[in-house]
Amino acid sequence: MEKSQVPHDTHGRQSPSRYVLVFDEAYKLLGITRRRDILRGLELHFLAQTGDGASPLPSGGKTNSQRPETSSEKLTAGIKEQAERPVSDVMLPIQATVDYEDEVMKVISKMVGHNISMLPVLKEDRVVGVIRSVEVFHEIANLIL
């Protein structure tokens, strides 16, 4: 599999990755985290109401007009506290990888089989990059068009 250019969206902008690979100090791949995982990790549980029928959502399941006022200082402090949590609290384990020399059909098979849209690419057991479903589609389009 050759390295391809980063695909562009319909407006000519680069399509940035939505994933971050997580490594330990020895550069061992531990998992991935997505932007939504990070946002979920920052969720402000301290705002949720407790007791019977409590919602786990920051709004406590209430609309804006039903929620008690919360100071921006409290919100800022809550976000800063949540930001101190380890990334391992929100990361996802690696389900599969592909080798640098693997064919695109193997990539497709692993993506479909594991219901994932990004795979780490290894060369001699070291991570050398990732391949996303958008790049797979780009490669397929180049082959058939």
The proportion of the chain whose per-residue pLDDT surpasses 90, expressed as a percent, equals 43
**What's the token pair of residue 58?**
């920051």
pLDDT at 125 over 80: yes
Place of tokens 């061992």: 28
Q: Is the pLDDT of residue 145 over 80?
A: yes
Cα dist from 140 to 88, 104, 127, whole Å: 35, 8, 23
Looking at this protein, which amino acid is placed at residue 57?
A: L
Domain residue extents for the chain: 12-94, 95-145
Which residues have CB under 8 Å from 115's CB, separation 6+? none
CB-side exposure of 72: number of CA atoms within 13 Å?
A: 0
In whole numbers, what is the pLDDT of the chain averaged over residues?
79
- pLDDT the model gives residue 4: 46
| Beta-ladder partners of 118 | 132
CATH C-level class of 95-145: alpha beta
Indicate whether this model's pTM tops 0.85: no
Instruction: Answer for the pair 90, 37: CB distance below 8 angstroms, yes or no.
Output: yes
Q: The tokens of 61 are what? A: 């399941």
Task: Tell me which of 118 and 10 has the higher pLDDT.
Answer: 118
